[in-house]
Chain A
Amino acid sequence: MKKNLGIFLILMVICAITAYLDPKFLGAYNLQNTIRWSGIYGIMAIGVSLVIITGGIDMTIGSVIGLIGCLLPFLLTKYGWHLRYAIPTVLAISAVIGLVNGLLVTKLRLQPFVVTLCGWLFYRGIVRYIAGDATQGFGTTCQPMKNFLKKNFLEYFTGVPHSFDIPMVFILMLIIAAIFAFFLNRTIWGRYLLALGRNEQAAKFSGIRTDRIIILAYTLSGLLAGLTGIILVANVNSADPSGFGLGYEMYAIAGAVLGGCSLKGGEGSILGVVIGSALLRVLYNSINILGIPTQLEFAVIGIVILIGVMADEVVRRIAAKRAALARIKAA
C-alpha cells in the first residue's frame, strides 16, 4: 500500500509540474487522450503483471496486439464475418497463444523469456503473412463497436458531448482492474499465484498444482493482450501488420515494474500496475507537451524507470536493514 502511495505521489508530481509549465496539459482534449491511453496500457500491463508475479515474462504481447488488431478487421472485411463471431474468435486465439506459452514454460520447463521471444517473432511473422503486409482497417463499418470503444463514457450514454468526460476505455480498464484485484487478493488462485511466485517448491509441497496456475497466468496475459489489440484497432481504425503494437510488451512490462512488480516474482499489486501504466503515459505526454525533443522520448522514459527502480531498491534495503535490526533486538 505504501509502495502504491509512493508511485501515486510521483505521478501527481509529474502531472503538477507539467500542468504548471504548460496549462495545455490540463486541457480536456489532452487529458482525455492521456487517460484513454493510460487505460489501454493498463489493460495489457495487468496481463503481463500476472505472468511477472509467477517469476516469468511475456514478450509476445506486442505481436499478439499486432495479430489480433489486424485479424479482426481482416475477418470482418475480407471474409464478412459477423462481429459476434469475430470477437470471440480473436479473443480465443489470443488466449490460446497464452495457453501455449504457459504449456511450454511449465510442461517443457523452457525459460519464459526464450519461449515468448520466439512467440514475439512467430506471431509477427504470421500476421504479416496473413495480411500480406497490407494495412487493415474497418473503413466505415462496425460503427457501434468503434463508438463504444472510442467514445467517452457520458457521451456514449447520453449522446451529447460533455466538456469533460472519461473515455470508455478507461472505464473498461477500471472494471478489468477491479476484477483482477479481486482475483489476486481474494481468491485462492490469486493466493496460489503470489505463493508460487515467491517459492514454487513450497507451493508444490503445500499441494498446489503450480503448473496450472502458471498456465492460467500466461493465458490471461494473452487474452488481455488480445483485448488490447481490439481496443487499439477500434480506436485508430488502421493496423499495419509490421508495426501495429510493435514494442508494446515493453510498455506493459515497464508499467508493471513501475507499479511494484518484481521480476523475481511473487510481488505486485493491480492498483500499482494501473498507476504505473498511467505514469508511463503521462511521462510520454509531458515530453510532447513540454517540447522536449521527441527523439529523447525513450531516453527520458528509460531514465525515469531506472530512477524509480533504484529508489525502490534503496527503500527495500533500508527496510531490510531495519527488519534485521528488529530481529537482533528480538533475539
Chain B
Amino acid sequence: MSTPLLEVQKIGKQFPGVIALQDVDFCIEKGEVLALIGENGAGKSTLMKILAGVYTTDTGQILIDGQPVTIKSVRDAQALGVSLIHQELNVADNLDVAANLYLGREPQHLGVIDRAKLYKDAEALLKRAGFDLDPRAPLRSLSIGHQQLVEIAKAISTDARIIIMDEPTSSLSQHETEALFDVIRDLRGRGISIVYISHRLSEVKEVADRVVGLRDGRNAGALTREEISHESMIKLMVGRELSQLFPHSALTPGEVVLEVKNLRTSLYPEHTASFSLRAGEVVGVAGLVGAGRSEMLNALFGVDSTFGGEVRVAGTLVEPNSVGSAIRAGIGLVPEDRKGQGLVVQMSVRHNMSLSALWKNNYMGVLDRVAEKKISDEMIPRMSIKTPNDMQVVQLLSGGNQQKVVIGKWLALQPRVLLLDEPTRGIDVGAKREIYMLMDELAKAGVAILFVSSDLEEVMGMSDRMLVMHEGCIAGELKREELSEEAVMRLATGHVAA
C-alpha cells in the first residue's frame, strides 16, 4: 500500500477533566471520500479541529505524505492543504461572492483593493471549481447550498488537498444535497480528499468510500465501501445493534382530533392547506426547504399570523393568531429552533418545563410552586432526561436532553395534538431513538402527532401517513404502503398534482 496522504497516529487530546481523544489512528488516501461517524461527544469535531489547526494535540503525531508535520494554527493547516468547512457557514452575507472568496487576502495596493483583479481571480477560480456562480452576486441572494459552494471554492483557492465538511447538509434541501454530492464526487475526481462528517447515515452510504467510526474518543472501527450499511454504521457508533431505529407500529387511528381547513400562511398567502389528523396517528410532513412546512405548523399554533382558514381541535374552533387559544385547545408545538424558540436556555429545567403551564398553575397570578415542581419531578424520569437536578440551567444540557425538556413542557399539559418541527435535528442516534419511542408511546396514548422533518428516512420510518408540501399547499398524501423516496420527491417538487 502506498503512503497515505494524511495519517494520524495515536493522537490524544485532553481537556481539563475529560479525555476527548485517546490513541486515535486514522488515515486518508488521495482522492478518497472518508465519512467520520459517531454520536455527539464521540470526538469527531475535536479530531477535525486538530487537523484544521483549531486545537493542538497532546500526544501522537500527524503525517502528511509520510512526513511528520506540526499544525499549530489554522494558517499552518491551510499551508499544508487542510481546510475545514464549518457546519455554520463563515460567510459575510453583506458582501458579494468575490469579496467572500478573498476575504482577508484581497489583492491590494497600499490597502486599496484591486477590484479588477479581485473579480478576474474570482471568476477564474469559480470556473476552475466548476461552479456556476456570479462573482458579483451578493452572498445573501444565494441559497445556503450556493453559499456552501463559495466556501468550498475558497478552500480550493488555498490549494486544499483535504477538505473537511462538518455536517454540510444539515440545512440543505434534498436537491441541494444531491448537488453537493456531485461536487464532492467531482473534487474526488481531481484527487482532493474529503472528510465528511454527518449524522445522516443514508447520505454517508451514498457518498462515502470508507467509514471511520469513533466512540467515546477512541477508534470504534472502520467499514469499507462494501461493508457500509445502516446496521453496520449504527453498530459502529453505539457499539451494539439497534434492532430497529424506528419503533413506530401503526395502530388503528381513532376520532378526528385536528381539522385544518384552507389555512393560509404569511409565506404563501395565495395558497391554502387543508388536512385532518386522527387520535393516535403519526403523520409526517415532508417537503423541500421553503415549502412552508414550519410556517404551517407555526400558523396553526398561532405564533405566525394567518391569512384565513380555520383550525379545529375535536370540533372546537381555535381562535386564530392566539397561542393561548391553541394551547387551551390541546395543541403543543416543539419548534424548529430549539434554543431560539423552544427554550429559555438560561432558565432551569423546572422553569422551562412549567412555562407553558403557568396559566393553569397559579392562584390569582401567584405561582403554584408545588405544581411546578411536580411537572419536572414527573417528566425527568419519564423522559430519562440526564440532568443533575431540575434547577440545572438548560444551557448546560446536551442537545438531546434539551429537546426532551421542550417535549416535556408540552406533555405536562397532556396535549391532544403534538406538533413537532425537526424534532431530532442535531441530536445523536441514541437520543433520536428515545424521541422516536416517545412519539410512539404518545400515539399509543391517543395523541395525534404531526411532525415535520427534512430527514426523509425519518419521516418514512415514523409516519403512518405522510403529507407532502409544495409552496404552501399539501401537494399530496401518501399512505404508509405508498411511501417511497421517488413518490415523495415527485410531490415535493410539484411534478404531480394530488
Interface of A toward B, CB cutoff 8 Å:
186-189, 191-192, 194-195, 198-199, 201-209, 266, 323, 325-331
Interface of A is mostly: helix
Q: Name which residue of chain A comes closest to B362, CB basis.
A: A188
Q: Give the contact stretch, choosing among B14-22, B232-240, B262-270.
A: B14-22
- Closest Cβ neighbor of B372 among chain A residues: A191
Q: Are A187 and B356 in contact (CB under 8 A)?
A: no
Identify which of A195, A202, A329, A330 contacts B342 (C-beta below 8 A).
Answer: A202
Interface residues on B, range: 35 or more
B335 cross-chain contacts in A, Cβ below 8 A: 205
A residues in contact with B351, CB < 8 Å: 191, 195
Q: Is the CB of B342 within 8 A of A205?
A: yes
- A256 to chain B minimum Cβ distance, whole angstroms, is 18
**Chain A proximity mask over B321-360: 1 for CB below 8 Å, otherwise 0:** 0011011000001010100111111110001000110110
A195 x B16 contact (CB < 8 A): no
B346-A187 in contact (CB<8A): no
* Inter-chain contacts of A329 with B (CB < 8 A): 16-18
**Bound state CA distance, A327 and B367, in angstroms?**
31
Q: How far is the CB of A315 from chain B (nearest CB, A)?
A: 16
Q: Cβ of A323: which chain B residues have Cβ within 8 Å of it?
A: 393, 395-396
Known contacts: A206-B356, A206-B409, A207-B327. The answer to whether A198 contacts B367 by CB under 8 A is no
| CB of A290 to closest CB in B, whole Å | 40
B365 interface residue, CB < 8 Å from A?
A: yes
Residues of A within 8 A of B356 (CB): 206-207
Say yes or no: B355 contacts A195, CB within 8 Å.
Answer: yes
B110 within 8 A of A: no
A interface footprint on B207-230 (CB within 8 Å = 1, 0 otherwise)? 000000000000000000000000
The answer for the CA separation of A198 and B41 in the assembled complex, in Å, is 28
Q: Smallest distance from the beta carbon of B445 to chain A beta carbons, Å? A: 22
Which residues, 236 to 280 on B, are CB-close (under 8 Å) to A? none
CB-based nearest A residue for B14:
A328
Assuming the contacts A191-B351, A206-B355, A207-B327, asked whether A198 and B18 have C-beta atoms less than 8 A apart, the reply is no
Apart from A198-B347, A206-B409, 10 more pairs, CB < 8 Å? A186-B367, A187-B362, A188-B359, A195-B355, A199-B343, A202-B341, A203-B355, A205-B342, A323-B393, A323-B396
Output the least CB separation between B420 and chain A (Å): 13
Q: Give every chain B residue within 8 A of A328 (Cβ-Cβ).
A: 15-18, 20
CB distance from A265 to the nearest CB of B (A): 10
Interface of B is mostly: mixed
The reply to whether A194 and B347 form a contact with Cβ atoms under 8 Å apart is yes
**Assembly CA distance A189 to B125 (angstroms):** 57
For the complex of A and B, 3 pairs with smallest distance between CB atoms: A329-B17, A206-B356, A207-B323
Using CB atoms and an 8 Å cutoff, list the residues of chain B in contact with chain A: 15-18, 20, 41, 301, 303, 323-324, 326-327, 333, 335, 337, 340-347, 351, 355-356, 358-359, 362, 365-367, 393, 395-396, 398, 409
Cβ B366 vs Cβ A187 within 8 A: yes
A330 to B40, CA, bound (A): 13
**A199 contact set on B, CB distance < 8 A:** 340, 343-346
A202 touches B344 (CB 8 A): yes
Q: How far is the CA of A206 from the CA of B365 in the complex (A)?
A: 17
**What residues on B are CB-neighbors of A194 within 8 Å?**
347
Given A188-B359, A204-B303, A206-B356: A195 touches B347 (CB 8 Å cut-off)? yes
Known contacts A202-B342, A203-B344, A207-B323; A326/B366 CB under 8 A: no
The verdict on A186 contacting B366 (CB below 8 Å), with A203-B355, A207-B359, A325-B17 known, is: yes
Interface pairs (18), CB distance under 8 Å: A186-B367, A188-B362, A188-B367, A194-B347, A195-B351, A195-B355, A198-B344, A198-B345, A198-B346, A198-B347, A201-B340, A205-B341, A206-B356, A207-B359, A325-B17, A326-B396, A327-B396, A328-B17
> Closest CB-CB distance, A1 to chain B, in whole Å?
13
- Shortest Cβ distance from residue A80 to the other chain B in the assembled complex, whole angstroms: 40
Contacts of B347 in A (CB 8 A): 194-195, 198
**Interchain CA distance A21-B343 in the complex, whole Å:** 51
Contact A191 B342 (CB under 8 A): no
The reply to whether B398 and A202 contact each other, CB–CB distance below 8 Å, is no
Complexed CA–CA distance, A328 and B323 (Å): 37
Which of A187, A205, A330 has the most C-beta atoms of chain B within 10 angstroms of its own C-beta? A205
* Assembled-state Cα–Cα distance A189/B324 (Å): 15
Q: Cα distance A269–B327 when bound, in Å?
A: 30
Residues of A within 8 A of B355 (CB): 191, 195, 202-203, 206, 208
B41 touches A201 (CB 8 A): no
Kindly state the separation between the CA atoms of A186 and B396 in the bound complex, as whole angstroms: 25
Q: Which residues of B contact A195 (CB under 8 A)?
A: 344, 347, 351, 355
A330 to chain B: closest residue by CB: B396
